[in-house]
Chains A and B, each alone.
Chain A
């Protein structure tokens, strides 16, 4: 049988989007630390401003270093294009602002990152965009929350804090039945563990800050355009299907078809909201993406080892991760995430809030930070930090029990990670 001779994932992680610099031969991606670009002549300048020909004008809209990262992430996701942003939150906002206007509505999973929840729940309503939150496992709830004003369904590939696995093909089908796109935050899976576009998602966004960068030294976000959704099939998406005065009446669908979203998100969203990624951050994040497949494989292996240890530990009453057979999405996870369900898990410590606090105060190797997806192992005890103002009942409502520890398993030698956890667990029981 003939097969498409496409370059494979690991190769694209290293090469996609970059050619050796034509003037210097630089093999590494150069940092084009510049705000602006010299025009050849007035005609070329006019052509660039008018979208007649491609090229760089000003680094808020595009930059050659950032463009390498954009092309690389689009390649890894199988998207037609990508737009990088200053942070993951900026990517989420850019995607929402590109396809929606006041009066529109979102149906979102209730188990999403707190920042994304805040934006949908508190901030977007000030601009006329409202959200109904649903249990991501309840397909009827997705369906019945859709209104005539709904413009997008949104969820995370792996939820927060229960590491709920989204049934991407099923929710994509619900979205498409209603003529709506499915947008996913795939930060926890990265394209190494799951390719949401192949499973039916239409827009994929990441906090590149996390596993894609992998080093915890630079913030970044990306919106990847799947290119398969027909924005002109209804009149629901006028920003893409109707003439736009910003470029003398251009219709992005008419001119760019399957790449309409990528083009509009840059031409309007980066131009006007300006949440651009810096070239230095793009450079740092690219160094991470080069080793993404190697790192994710090791993250998953270490996670498996750590889970085996935790399950056998007397001070740990429960462990929550899709690879554990008691997890509600265990079977789905095997189907959608054959390479592993990521490196973020939660577990309980016998003794509740106090024991959780003692555990955190006694880890030495693991870092106590409000972050996930670093090369280093990270821990946090929400009940004594991010959620400390909440009562036990409120915590339960947020899906966070008093004894819950969230762990982002890093790339250290697993024996050292385990020794650190064992020591802290012993200390947690000496109340």
Chain B
């Protein structure tokens, strides 16, 4: 589905069905250098289980046009504007990695736009390895490779994709390779310079956080620091899963999302 936001085309994947405005809207926000397709194992399922999922391509990502936004705060304002433009009322907001930082900001600063929050691969701060930032700045293939290597648990490096014939490691690397020059660096720099501070304490809607035990990008310890700040939180653990949990463990994530969204 395409919508216009300030005259610029924004693309959202809706699970291959027309958005049903009578169903609760779910807006899904991807992480650094990625796009809507990271949610492909969830959107179609949600669309047939009582929700209206919309997995967005952030500006300059995937099939969305527009200039890159360089801070988490700008990205959050953009998402808030998008929610307004979609005209669905408050959404259930789901964020992964950089998308979780954006979602936190939206929920804290635009309280009337968000009904529920689900965060995956989340932390209050996401410092980025300087060599990864450097490789991303030079648009080297090393950046997608390092991100892919760190973003998957040990199992996902060998096997385990329930979709027959798909190979996760190259799937992730190819997705990142397809990002236009500058996109990965823009996003990683935005993550690197962001500090959520005490933002968690200001969030009033129900929050679910899903954490992968083998997440090296946002390790369980870092997620725990963020989680400690919420007034109330539903924390779910995934054993043997890394940062790309929606792809590494799509079945378990679908179940968790469904129960958290209802």
Contact = CB atoms under 8 A, between A and B. Distances in A.
Given A50-B44, A54-B41, A71-B159, A5 B164 contact: no
A12 to B, nearest CB: 8
Interface size class, chain B: 35 or more
Nearest to A50: B48
A232 interface: yes
Nearest to A7: B157
Contacts of B146: 2, 4
A343 B36 CA distance: 44
Give the top 3 A-B pairs by smallest Cβ distance, nearest first: A257-B37, A250-B16, A227-B174
Contact of A51 (B44, B129, B174, B251): B44
Interface stretch (B107-115, B165-173, B191-199): B165-173
A83 B165 contact: yes
B154 to A, nearest CB: 10
Contacts of B175: 227, 257-258
B174 A228 contact: yes
A54 B178 contact: no
Interface residues of A, number: 56
A4 B146 CA distance: 5
Contact of B148 (A4, A56, A254): A4
B63 A255 contact: no
B50 to A, nearest CB: 12
B167 A257 contact: no
B160 interface: yes
Contact of B48 (A4, A17, A52, A64): A52
A250 B15 CA distance: 8
Contact of B166 (A64, A84, A259): A259
Nearest to B131: A2
Given A74-B165, A255-B43, A228 B178 contact: yes
A18 interface: yes
B155 A255 contact: no
Contacts of B174: 80, 226-228, 258
Given A54-B250, A75-B170, A78-B170, A258 B178 contact: yes
Contact of B164 (A247, A257, A266): A266
B105 interface: no
Contacts of A62: 164-165
A257 B40 contact: yes
26 contacts: A1-B131, A2-B146, A5-B149, A6-B149, A7-B157, A16-B167, A51-B16, A52-B44, A52-B45, A53-B251, A61-B164, A74-B166, A78-B170, A80-B166, A82-B167, A227-B171, A227-B178, A230-B178, A250-B44, A254-B13, A255-B13, A255-B16, A255-B37, A257-B36, A257-B40, A259-B40
B145 interface: yes
Nearest to B15: A255
A15 B157 CA distance: 10
Contacts of B254: 53
Contact of B177 (A56, A228, A232): A228
Given A4-B146, A7-B157, A19-B160, 16 more contacts: A4-B148, A6-B157, A6-B169, A17-B159, A51-B44, A74-B165, A81-B166, A84-B165, A227-B170, A227-B174, A228-B174, A232-B63, A254-B13, A255-B13, A256-B40, A259-B166
Interface in B33-71: 35-37, 40-41, 43-45, 47-48, 62-63
A248 B16 contact: yes
